């Protein structure tokens, strides 16, 4: 029998997120690291909210019951303990502090086609903010999402034999760090704005890869060309920020910069060609309405067409499962 239960799950979806975000804010999962167990009396909260929070986190698969207390689930232990390589808390904090309240005005964005997290009339981009703490939170979020996605990409995309990778809009350097760890002969360059390159350089140094990962300050949209000397150009979670014209122009720059035989990789949450899903890609598109002027999520068919038009051959799509992407569209420069 058809019931409104799925609709109720949609209505109450924010309950799960805000419970999750509150637990991350309290550093609950870090306190439980290494198999430690806590009871509701040990959280430093009043009894009723402590009991409700622990039960709710257990219901979401974040905690497990252990006698009179709770411990981290394997998922929480791997990704929600601060300081671990694939810590995901930055993404949770960013969404909670930056996008959650603007999403309350999504109807306004639909009516006006204007972003909600920044003002295009007074700011150059979504990255132009006077709040350094928010910028730090943003790059932590991108790093936590990107580093595990890079791991999945490395398994799905053939990079053996490739020598030099250019990560366009590479942010804090998560992809080059992870890809160079996986491919010992690979060297990489992060192309991004000067202040972002400083963040990437610090991450690279912490990973012990300064001899293999460099930074190149620049503006990939405004600059006439991309740095040359690379046989791989990576565009990961970049093209969804811009409209078709900007993306086609960037792909043309990638084609011009690559060596003959070079590989371009467009890694994104890809929509199906009929634009009916999958939900993560479609909903990320809605988030682009909240956060960007012209961004949206595109289908693999669209990216394949743009790459072909830019002069790439052997264009194909590979699929994988990761938090920041569900696949990559590949092309070869003849």
Q: Which domain CATH number covers 12?
A: 1.10.10.10
Under a CB-based contact definition with an 8 Å cutoff, are residues 327 and 317 in contact?
A: yes
> Domain end: 79, 113, 145, which one?
79
User: Residues 266, 160: one domain?
Assistant: yes
Q: What is the per-residue pLDDT across 301-330, written as a single tens digit (0 to 9) for each?
A: 999 999 999 999 999 999 999 999 999 999
Task: Reduce the DSSP state of residue 201 to 3 states and report it.
Answer: helix
Confidence category of residue 126, pLDDT binned at 50, 70, 90: low
19: which 2 tokens?
Answer: 């419970």
320 and 197 part of one domain: yes
| DSSP for residue 299 | B
Q: Is 240 one of the annotated active-site residues of the chain?
A: yes
| Domain hosting residue 14, numbered range | 5-79
With left for phi above 0 and alpha for psi between -120 and 50, is residue 17 left, alpha or beta? alpha
- Residues 8-67: pLDDT tens digits? 999 999 999 999 999 999 999 999 999 999 999 999 999 999 999 999 999 999 999 999
From the list 183, 195, 230, 240, the catalytic residue is 240
Instruction: Let me know whether 288 and 176 are in one domain.
Output: yes
Whether residue 24 is found in the same domain as residue 173 = no
Q: What residue spans of the chain are helical by DSSP H?
A: 5-11, 13-25, 28-31, 47-59, 74-79, 89-94, 100-103, 106-112, 132-156, 174-182, 194-206, 244-257, 279-291, 300-309
Strand pairing category for 213-217 and 187-192 = parallel
For the whole model, what pTM was predicted? 0.93
Reported as type and span, the H/E element at residue 60 is: none
Q: Is 192 exposed, middle or buried (0-12, 13-18, 19+ CB in 10 A)?
A: buried
- State whether 131 and 278 are in the same domain: yes
Tell me which residue of 333, 182, 186 sits closest to 256, measured CA to CA. Answer: 333
One domain for residues 107 and 69:
no
The pLDDT-based confidence of 129 (bands split at 50, 70, 90) is: low
Position 53 in a domain: yes
| Number of domains the chain contains | 2
Q: What is the pLDDT of residues 268-300, one digit of tens each?
A: 999 999 999 999 999 999 999 999 999 999 999
């Amino acid at each position: 029998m058809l019931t409104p239960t799925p609709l109720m799950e949609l209505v109450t979806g924010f309950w799960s997120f805000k419970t999750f975000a509150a637990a991350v804010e309290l550093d609950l999962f870090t306190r439980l690291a290494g198999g430690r167990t806590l009871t509701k009396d040990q959280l430093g909260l009043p009894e009723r909210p402590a009991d409700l929070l622990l039960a709710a986190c257990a219901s979401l698969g974040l905690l497990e019951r252990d006698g009179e207390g709770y411990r981290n689930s394997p998922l929480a232990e791997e990704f929600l303990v601060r300081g671990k390589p694939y810590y995901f808390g930055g993404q949770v904090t960013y969404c909670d502090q930056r996008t959650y309240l603007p999403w309350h005005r999504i109807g306004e964005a639909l009516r006006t086609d204007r972003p909600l997290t920044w003002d295009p009339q007074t700011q150059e981009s979504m990255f132009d903010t006077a709040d350094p703490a928010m910028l730090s939170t943003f790059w932590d979020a991108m790093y936590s999402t990107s580093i595990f996605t890079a791991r999945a990409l490395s398994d799905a995309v053939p990079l053996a034999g490739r020598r030099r990778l250019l990560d366009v809009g590479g942010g804090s350097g998560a992809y080059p760090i992870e890809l160079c760890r996986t491919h010992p002969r690979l060297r990489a360059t992060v192309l991004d704005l000067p202040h972002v390159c400083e963040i990437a350089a610090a991450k690279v140094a912490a990973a012990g890869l300064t001899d293999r990962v460099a930074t190149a300050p620049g503006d990939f949209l405004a600059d006439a060309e991309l740095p040359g000397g690379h046989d791989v150009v990576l565009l990961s979670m970049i093209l969804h920020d811009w409209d078709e014209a900007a993306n086609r122009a960037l792909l043309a720059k990638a084609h011009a910069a690559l060596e003959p035989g070079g590989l371009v990789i467009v890694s994104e949450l890809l929509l199906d060609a009929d634009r009916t899903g999958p939900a993560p890609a479609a909903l990320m598109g809605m988030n682009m309405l909240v956060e960007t002027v012209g961004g949206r999520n595109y289908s693999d068919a669209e990216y394949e067409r743009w790459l072909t038009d830019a002069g790439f051959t052997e264009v194909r799509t590979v699929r994988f499962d990761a938090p920041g992407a569900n696949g990559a569209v590949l092309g070869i420069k003849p």
